[in-house]
A = this chain, B = another copy of it.
Amino acid sequence: MPTNASNGQVHVIPARKGVATRVAQGQVITVINTHGTQVVDTWAFCADDIAEFMSMEHSRGAMLKVNPKNGDTLCSNRRRPMLTLIQDTSGGVHDTLIAACDRYRYQQLGHVGHHDNCTDNLATALGTVGLTPPETPSPLNLFMNIPVGEDGSVTFEAPVAGPGSYVSMCAEMDLIVAFSACPQDLIPVNGQGCVPTEAHYRIDAKAPRL
């Protein structure tokens, strides 16, 4: 597991897999869409009590918007601030509406046998830091493009985030943050080519300029 040293070292989120890291209050975690159009499912848990976690349904009510923009703060299921977006070069298109993919999703899409999925990736990633998720919170889907129509319809579109674009978020409390480079390759959630790729993250004392 990477240390939480704020040294700007770049860590990989392997294609189709998940990772977890500790982030101290005040540190900035930056998620880099290395190859572009890759969705990164993101979770945050209170370092002192994993039962408190970043909650999309609480955050939407606090932000008064469906998806976070630069300057917005995601909050926990106890309505405490967890992560604030402080820099976003990706085009600002993210999603809070859609569940992490899971084995059932791929079964319904016709896949037979094992398929990597963000739900299992979260559990595996937290396992590397000795934790078991109490559940799978609805993720902050960085770079995911789920437009909401005037009629309330939602559609799954390819991300707009270009190669090397990134989002920086300030930790509002000591956190364990988990990422999954979404392995969806049956619909173009990760770009028209349906080829999931790696992404990267780094932890800094303040927002980097990449």
Contact with B along A65-98 (1 / 0, CB 8 A): 1110000000001111000000000000000011
Q: In the docked arrangement, what's the CA distance between A3 and B104, Å?
A: 33
A153-B64 contact, Cβ under 8 Å, with A57-B56, A135-B135, A148-B148? yes
* A103-143 with Cβ < 8 A to chain B: 104-105, 108, 134-136, 138
Instruction: Give the bracket for the number of chain A residues in contact with chain B.
Output: 20 to 34
* A47-67 with Cβ < 8 A to chain B: 55-58, 60-61, 64-67
Contact A136 B77 (CB under 8 A): yes
A173 touches B (CB below 8 Å): no
Contact A99 B57 (CB under 8 A): yes
* A148-196 with Cβ < 8 A to chain B: 148, 150-155
Number of copies of this protein chain within its complex: 2
Contact A61 B152 (CB under 8 A): no
Contact B98 A152 (CB under 8 A): no
Determine which of B55, B77, B97 lies in contact with A66 in the assembled complex, contact meaning CB atoms within 8 Å. Answer: B97
Chain B min CB distance to A99 (Å): 4
Contact A61 B153 (CB under 8 A): no
A138-B66 contact, Cβ under 8 Å, with A108-B79, A152-B148? no
Chain B min CB distance to A97 (Å): 5
Instruction: Tell me which residues across on chain B come within 8 A of A56, comparing CB atoms.
Output: 57, 138
| 5 A-B pairs with least C-beta separation | A57-B99, A79-B104, A57-B138, A66-B152, A58-B99
11 new A-B contacts, CB < 8 A, other than A56-B57, A65-B151, A78-B102, are A57-B138, A60-B154, A61-B97, A65-B154, A66-B153, A77-B99, A79-B102, A79-B105, A97-B97, A138-B138, A150-B150
